[in-house]
Structure 1
Amino acid sequence: MKDTNVNKTLDEAKQEELMAKFDREFSYRKLSGLNKTLVFVITVIWSLWQVYTATFGLLPPTLQRSIHVGFGLVVIYLLYPMSKNDKTNKVKWYDFIFIVLSVGVVGYHIVNFENLLYRAGAYNQMDMIVSLVAIALIIEGTRRVAGPVLISVSGTFLIYAYFGQYFPGFLSHGGYSIQRISTYAWISTESILGIPIMVSSTFIFLFLLFASYLKKTGIGDWLTDLALAIAGGATGGPAKAAIVASASQGTISGSSVANTVGTGSVTIPLMKSIGYRSEFAAAVEAAASTGGQLMPPIMGAAAFIMTEFTDLPYVTIALGASIPALLYFVGIFIMVHLEAKKNGLEGLPKERIPNLKRLLKEKWFLATPIFAIVFLLVKGYTPMRAALMGILSTIIIGFINSHLDENINFGFKELVEGLEEGAKSALAVVMACASAGIIVGVVTLTGLGIKFANGIVALSQGNIFLTMFFTMIASIVLGMGMPTTANYIVQATIAAPALIAVGVPVLAAHLFVFYFGIIADITPPVALAAFAGAGIAGSNPFKTGVQASMLAFAAYLVPYVFATSPSLVLVFTPESLILGSKAVTLIISLSTALLGMFAIGGGVSGYSLTHCKTWERFVLGVGGILLVMTNLVYNGVGLALVILAWVGQKNRVKKQVQA
C-alpha cells in the first residue's frame, strides 16, 4: 500500500511538471507557511462567495464582476512570479504592492458605485487614474498566468484605440483620449466588465468548481475506466479508449494541456504497451483531448459564452455543436483504427481491461451529476442553477462513494480542498476574459468589428471559401498560445461577422472560429497539447505535433462542411425544421461527410482495406475531399474515385488470400 501511494505521488508530480512546462497557467509558486495559508483562505472565500451569490442572488453587474476580477488578481500576484524562470517560491515585496493596488481599484468601485453610475460618460481624473491602474494590473496578471500572446493582442488594440488616425484604409478612425479609453475599459459594462467577465463571474466559475469535485470524488477516474472497459479490447483499444475518455472529460475541462496530461498519464503508457509508436500515442491523446472542448454539453464553458454572443438558446448551441463534434472524433477514430490495422496492433488483454458490467453495476450512480446537469440545462434551467445542482450532487455522490470504496477518500478536508482547487483553476479564465474584454471594448468603441468584417469580405471579393480560409488562418494564429476562451471571444467579435456577411448562419460562423481556435493546440509550430503529450510519451515534440495534425487532418475540413452545409448545425433549431422537411438533406450530407473522412483517413495513413499504393492514396485523398464537400456533383465524382481505389484494393486482398 505504501508503494502505491509513493507511485501515485510521483505520477502527480510528473503531471504538474509537464503542465507547468507547456502551459503558463500551471507554472505557479509552491508556497509554504503564511503565504500558503493566505492563498488557501482567499481561494476558499472566493469559491464560497461565488456559490453564495449564485444561490441567493447576484450583486449589481459592475460590483459582481469587479469583485470577481479582484479576487483573481490577488491570488495571481500571490501565486505567480513575475518571471517564469523565478524558482524561489517566495512572494516578492512588489507583489504585495500589486495586491494592495488590486484591492484598491476594486474597493474604489465598491465605495463609489452609485456615484460612478450617476456620472456615467463624464468621469473625472481620479476615475481615469484608477482605471489606468486597473488595466495595468489586469495586463500584468494576464501575462503571468496566460503568457505574452494575449496581452500583445490586447495591448495592440489599446494602441489602435488611441492612434486610430494613423492606421490605413478602413482601419482608420479619429482616435480617443486616454481618459475615454481607460474609463470605458474599466468602469463601463462594455469592456473588461462586459460579457466575458459576466459569464466568468457567474456560471463558468461554478462549472470549474464542478470539475474540481469530479476529480476529488473519483468520478473522473471512473469515466476513464469506463472508456477502457468499452474500447480497450478492440483493435488498437487503448487509443480508442483515450478518445472516449478525452471526449467525456474534455467537455468539462477548459484546457487542452490539462486534459492531455490528466487522461494521457493513463492512456499513453497503455498505447505504448501494445506497440503504438511514442509519437503516435502522444498525438492520439493530444488530438482527442483538444477535441474534448468541442464536445457538448459544456464545451469547456464556451457554450455559455456563445449564448451571449449569438443570442441563441443554450440548447440550440449544444445540440447544434453535436454533429460537428461527432465528425471530429469520428475522423480521429478512423485514423487510429487504420493505424492499428496497418501495424497489426491488437487491443489490451482481457485481464488488463476493467470489467464493464462491474463498473456499471457497482458505480452507476457516479454518472448522476453529469446527467443531472445535462437534464437541467435541457429543461431550460439557467447554467448557473444547473452548475449549482451539479456541484451539490457531486459532493453527495462523493460522500457515498467514499463509504462504498475504501480507495476513495472524500470528507470535509477534500470538500474544502475542492473549493481551493476550483478557484485556482479559474484564474486563467478570469484573466483571459478580462483581457479579451479590453479587445471587445476597443472593437465596440471604434466600430472595428464591422470594419474588419467588411475588410475580409472585400479582400475575398465576397467568395465564401476565401472568407473562410482567411478566417481560419486568423483563428489558428491567434489560438497559438492564447487560452481558448479568449481566442473565441476575440474571433466572435472581429472574425465571425465576416462569415455571417457572406451568408454563413450565425451558429455555424461562431462554431467555425471556435473550432479552429481550438485546433491551434495541435497545429505546429505551437502545438501545446501535443508537446505536453510528448512529455509523457518521451517522444519528439515537433514530430508529435505533426502527427497530431495529421490525425486531425479530416477534422480541419469539418468546419468547412458545416459552414457550407448548415443542416449539420441547424438540425435541432426550431426555425430550420430539418427533422421534418429536410431530413433527406441532412442524411445525405452526414453520410457523404463520414464516408469522405474514412477515405481521407486511408489516404493520409496509407492504409484502407490493405496497404495503399501511391496512386491509391492520392485517389482516396481527393475522393474524400470531394465527398466532404456539399455539392452533389462533387460527391458523385468523389464516390466514384473512392470506389475505384477500394475495388483495386479488394482485388489485391483477394489475390493475397488466394496466394
Structure 2
Amino acid sequence: MSENDESIAEELLLEETGKIRNNRKIDRILISGISILWAVFQLALPKFLILDSVSTRAVHLTFAVVLAFLSIPAVKKPLKKLKFLHRIDYIPLSDMLLAFVSIGVILYIILDKGGIASRSGMPNQTDYIFGTSTVIIVLLAAYRMIGPALPIISILISTYAFMGPNMPGIFAFKGVSLTKYISQISLSTEGIYGIPLDVSANTVFLFVLLGALLDKVGAGQFFNDLSFSLLGKYKGGPAKASVVSSGLSGLISGSSIANVVTTGTFTIPLMKKAGYPAKIAAATEVAASTNGQLMPPIMGAAAFIIAEYLGISYIEVIKAAAVPAFVSYFALFYITHLEALKLGLKGLPKADLPNFFKTVKSGGHYLIPLGMLVYELMVMRHSPKLSAFNAIMVLFVVALVQEIFRSNKRGEGFVTGLNNGIKLITSGLINGSRNMMGVALATAAAGIVVGVVSMGIGSMIVQIVEVLSQGNIFLLLFITAIASLILGMGLPTTATYIVMASITVPVIIKLSAVYALNPVAPVAAHLFCFYFGILADDTPPVGLAAYTAAAIAESDPIATGVQGFIYDLRTAVIPFMFVFNPDLVLVGIDNWPEALLIFGMACLGAFAFTSLAQGWFLVKNRWYELPLFAIITVILFFPGIIPILFKLPMESRYYYYGIGLILYGVVYLMQNVRKKGELAACMSE
C-alpha cells in the first residue's frame, strides 16, 4: 500500500471521527478536555448522577454540538474569499463563538424548564427564538459531522409540513403552524429531544466508549492475530481470518470505516499475498466490516432504538438478531471458500502466522470485559447501560494491570506502568467521545423527521406509500430496501434506520396483515430497515467503506464497491426471508434445539443462495442447477411456505426441510460426478 493510498484511508477515518483539527496544542487540549468531560458525564449517569431525561438529552447533545463545531470545519473544500470556513490547522474564532452560543441555545430547555412546561403548546417570543435556533444549530452541526443528506431531508420534510394544505391530491394534508412545529420539535421530547437522542445519551454512548477503550488497549490487534492463528493456514485462510477478525472487531468499533482501517491494513495485504486479486481482497474486507454492526451482543445504535420503539428489552432484540447475523457471517465465510476454490488458492505458510497459544496468552485478558458484558446482560439481566458501565469498570482494571505488568517486565517500575495505564484510559475516553459525535447528531437531526411525521404526516405518508406499492407487500419491501440503500449513501446507519422505520414500518405491518403469507412481526420489520441501512456502507457509487478498502488494496473503488455489494447479496436476501418467516428472528421460539435447527437450516439456505450468486458449488454451476439452488434457498430459509401454499398444517413445517436437503444432495451428486470427470480429464492430459 502506497503512502498516498494510506493517507486517503486515514483521511476518511479522520472525517468520520472528527480528528481533523489536531495541529495546535491548545486546540488538542481544548477538544480533548471537552471529550473527557463528556465521557465522565456519561459514566456518572448509571450510578452517581441523577438527572431527568430532558436534562440528560440536552447535556448530551450540547457536548456533541460543541465538539462538532470545534473539530470539523464548516466546508470540506477551501473557498478563496471565505478561507476561515475551511480552517483545519486551527479553530477559527467564528467556530469558537458558534460553539459558545450553542451551549446557551441547547441548554435553554433546561434553564427555563418550568416556564416551558407552563407554556406547553403556547410558546412565547423567547421560546420561538431559542426553539428556532436549536433547530438551526442541530442541522448545522449535523451537516458538519455527517454531511448534507440528513439536514436536507429534515428541511424538506419540515417544509412539506408547512406547505401541506397547498399540496396536490393525496399529498395534501392540514399542515402545521409554526407554534406547533417549535413546541413539538424543539421544546418537547417528541422531536430533537426524542427517543433516538435518549437512546444515544443513556445507552449507546457507553457501548461506543467500551469499544473505543477495547480498541485502545489492543483488543483489535488481538482479534486479528487470534483469527489468523486459527485460520490463516487453510485454503483461502487470509480471507477467512479477515471475516472472523472483522466480525470480532465489529463488536468494538461500530463503524464500517473504522473497522476497515483497523483490520484491513493488515488483512488486505495478506489476502493479496495469498493470491487474491486486489478487488476481491478489498471487497471481502468491506463485506466483513460492514456487517460488524449486526453482531450481538454489541450492535449498532439502531438496535437500542428498536428496543425503545417496541418497548422490549435489549436482550429480546439480541435474540431476534442472532440467527440472521450469524448466518450472514457464516455465508461470507463460505464465499471466501468458494473464491479460494475458483482461484485455486492455498493458505499462508505457518512462519507467516502468529502462534495461537502465544496470542491467547498475550491477549486473552481482553475477553474479560466482554465476558463481563455478556454476563451482565444475559445472566444478571441488568439494563444495557448498567451492563456497559460495569464492563467498562472491569476494562479500566484490565488496562491498568496490563500496563503495570508490561512496565515491570521492561524494568520501568509500578508508577510508570500506572501512568501509562491512565494515559491509555484517557485516550480511550477521548476516542469514545469523538466516535459518538456522529451518532448523537444523527439521532438529534433524525428526531426532527420523526417529530414532523408524528404531527399528522405519518398517516398521510402511510397512504402514499400504500398507493405507490399498490397494496403489494413484496413491492413495498423492495421500495423500502432501495430507499434505505439510497438514503444510506448519505446518512449514517442509525439515521437511515430512524427515517425509514418512522415512514415504512407501520405500512409494512399494516399491509402484511392483509396481503402477506404471514403477518410480519414488528421486530422483523424494524430489523429489515436496519439491515438495508447497514448495507448502504458499501453500495456504489458512494459506499465509503468500499472507498477506504480500495485505497488500502490499491484497487478501483467502484469495482470494489460492486464486488462488495455482490458479496452482500447474501445479507440482503436474509431480511426478505425473516420478514415472512418469524422463526428466523426466533419469535415464539424459546428452546435451544428448535433454535439450533432453524439456524443450521438457514446457514445451508444461505450457502445455497451464495452458490447461486457466485455461480459455483463444487464446480461451476450449469444453468439448470440455478433454479434448484433458488428452490433450496427458499425452502431452507422458509419451510413454512409449503404448508402455506398447499394449505397444510403449519405445525409440520420443519419436516419440509427434508425436501430442501434432498434437492441439495441431488445438486451435490451431479456436481461431484462432474468434478471427478474434470479431475480425470486433467490427469489424462
Tell me if TM exceeds 0.5.
yes
Q: CA deviation at 1:394?
A: 1.0
Residue aligning to 1:646? 668
- From the superposition, tell whether residues 535 and 204 of structure 1 become closer, same or farther in structure 2 (CA, over 3 Å): same
**Are 1:579 and 2:601 counterparts?**
no
| Aligned counterpart in structure 2 of residue 411 of structure 1, from 421, 435, 443 | 421
CA distance in 2, matches of 1:307, 1:166: 37
CA distance in 2, matches of 1:397, 1:15: 31
- From the superposition, tell whether residues 590 and 425 of structure 1 become closer, same or farther in structure 2 (CA, over 3 Å): closer
CA distance in 1, matches of 2:597, 2:221: 38
* Counterpart amino acid of residue 243 in structure 1: V
**Are 1:445 and 2:455 counterparts?**
yes
* 8 Å Cα contact 1:242-1:288 kept in structure 2: yes
Residue aligning to 1:89? 89
Residue aligning to 1:309? 309
* Counterpart amino acid of residue 421 in structure 1: N
CA distance in 2, matches of 1:52, 1:591: 43
* 8 Å Cα contact 1:565-1:589 kept in structure 2: no
Q: CA deviation at 1:360?
A: 2.7
Deviations 1:265-285 (A, max 9, x none): 111111111011101111011
CA distance in 1, matches of 2:607, 2:452: 44
- From the superposition, tell whether residues 52 and 623 of structure 1 become closer, same or farther in structure 2 (CA, over 3 Å): closer
* 8 Å Cα contact 1:250-1:300 kept in structure 2: no
TM-score (normalised: structure 1): 0.91
* 8 Å Cα contact 1:286-1:522 kept in structure 2: yes
Q: CA deviation at 1:18?
A: 4.0
Residue aligning to 1:71? 63
Segment drifting more, 456-465 vs 182-191: 456-465
DSSP-derived class of the 1:656 partner: helix
CA distance in 1, matches of 2:128, 2:508: 37
Residue aligning to 1:539? 555
* Counterpart amino acid of residue 290 in structure 1: T
* Counterpart amino acid of residue 17 in structure 1: E
DSSP-derived class of the 2:591 partner: helix
- From the superposition, tell whether residues 271 and 323 of structure 1 become closer, same or farther in structure 2 (CA, over 3 Å): same
- From the superposition, tell whether residues 588 and 84 of structure 1 become closer, same or farther in structure 2 (CA, over 3 Å): same
* Counterpart amino acid of residue 380 in structure 1: R
CA distance in 2, matches of 1:275, 1:26: 36
CA distance in 2, matches of 1:648, 1:281: 31
Deviations 1:566-594 (A, max 9, x none): 011125xxxx14539xx66x667545533
Residue aligning to 1:293? 293
Segment drifting more, 634-643 vs 424-433: 634-643
Segment drifting more, 356-365 vs 237-246: 356-365
- From the superposition, tell whether residues 657 and 103 of structure 1 become closer, same or farther in structure 2 (CA, over 3 Å): closer
Residue aligning to 2:653? none
- From the superposition, tell whether residues 163 and 31 of structure 1 become closer, same or farther in structure 2 (CA, over 3 Å): farther
* 8 Å Cα contact 1:254-1:484 kept in structure 2: no
CA distance in 2, matches of 1:404, 1:613: 60
Residue aligning to 2:353? 353
Segment drifting more, 463-472 vs 151-160: 463-472
Q: How many residues align?
A: 643
Residue aligning to 1:48? 40
CA distance in 2, matches of 1:321, 1:311: 16
* 8 Å Cα contact 2:21-2:27 kept in structure 1: no
CA distance in 1, matches of 2:131, 2:658: 60
**Are 1:593 and 2:602 counterparts?**
yes
CA distance in 2, matches of 1:170, 1:493: 19
- From the superposition, tell whether residues 476 and 425 of structure 1 become closer, same or farther in structure 2 (CA, over 3 Å): same
Residue aligning to 1:16? 10
**Are 1:57 and 2:49 counterparts?**
yes
CA distance in 2, matches of 1:390, 1:183: 39
CA distance in 2, matches of 1:336, 1:387: 34
**Are 1:500 and 2:509 counterparts?**
yes
Aligned runs of 1:88-487 on 2, under 5 Å? 88-378=88-378, 379-405=380-406, 410-446=420-456, 448-487=457-496
CA distance in 1, matches of 2:362, 2:547: 37
Deviations 1:160-182 (A, max 9, x none): 22111123444422222223212
* 8 Å Cα contact 2:121-2:179 kept in structure 1: no
**Are 1:488 and 2:497 counterparts?**
yes
* Counterpart amino acid of residue 264 in structure 2: G
* 8 Å Cα contact 1:567-1:578 kept in structure 2: no
* Counterpart amino acid of residue 147 in structure 2: G
Segment drifting more, 547-556 vs 162-171: 162-171
* 8 Å Cα contact 2:17-2:434 kept in structure 1: no
* 8 Å Cα contact 1:80-1:145 kept in structure 2: yes
| Aligned counterpart in structure 2 of residue 557 of structure 1, from 570, 573, 576 | 573
Q: CA deviation at 1:415?
A: 2.1
Q: CA deviation at 1:243?
A: 1.0
Q: CA deviation at 1:604?
A: 2.8
Q: CA deviation at 1:229?
A: 1.8
Q: CA deviation at 1:551?
A: 1.1
| Aligned counterpart in structure 2 of residue 30 of structure 1, from 22, 39, 47 | 22
CA distance in 2, matches of 1:131, 1:139: 13
Residue aligning to 1:605? 614
Deviations 1:591-622 (A, max 9, x none): 55333322332233232212334554565456
Deviations 1:344-377 (A, max 9, x none): 1112211222222233344322201011111111
* 8 Å Cα contact 2:214-2:366 kept in structure 1: no
CA distance in 2, matches of 1:107, 1:18: 32
CA distance in 1, matches of 2:609, 2:658: 16
DSSP-derived class of the 2:47 partner: helix
DSSP-derived class of the 1:261 partner: helix
Deviations 1:69-108 (A, max 9, x none): 1111111111110111235422223212312220221343
CA distance in 1, matches of 2:275, 2:356: 24
Segment drifting more, 219-228 vs 166-175: 166-175
Q: CA deviation at 1:47?
A: 1.4
* 8 Å Cα contact 1:50-1:206 kept in structure 2: yes
| Aligned counterpart in structure 2 of residue 526 of structure 1, from 542, 547, 550 | 542
* Counterpart amino acid of residue 398 in structure 2: I
CA distance in 2, matches of 1:363, 1:36: 31
Which structure 1 residue ranges, 5 or more long, are not aligned?
1-6
Q: CA deviation at 1:33?
A: 3.2
CA distance in 2, matches of 1:58, 1:542: 50
Q: CA deviation at 1:545?
A: 0.7
* 8 Å Cα contact 2:400-2:422 kept in structure 1: no
CA distance in 2, matches of 1:178, 1:513: 31
* 8 Å Cα contact 1:331-1:552 kept in structure 2: no
* Counterpart amino acid of residue 420 in structure 1: I
CA distance in 1, matches of 2:201, 2:44: 12
CA distance in 1, matches of 2:675, 2:392: 54
* Aligned-residue identity in percent: 36
* 8 Å Cα contact 2:539-2:565 kept in structure 1: yes
Segment drifting more, 170-179 vs 549-558: 170-179
- From the superposition, tell whether residues 256 and 595 of structure 1 become closer, same or farther in structure 2 (CA, over 3 Å): same
* Counterpart amino acid of residue 668 in structure 2: W
Q: CA deviation at 1:432?
A: 0.3
Q: CA deviation at 1:216?
A: 1.6
Q: CA deviation at 1:641?
A: 6.0
DSSP-derived class of the 2:253 partner: coil
CA distance in 2, matches of 1:485, 1:497: 18
Residue aligning to 1:4? none
Q: CA deviation at 1:226?
A: 1.4
CA distance in 2, matches of 1:552, 1:480: 15
Residue aligning to 1:632? 642
* Counterpart amino acid of residue 516 in structure 1: F
* 8 Å Cα contact 2:56-2:201 kept in structure 1: yes
Give the RMSD, CA atoms, in angstroms. Answer: 2.6
DSSP-derived class of the 2:506 partner: helix
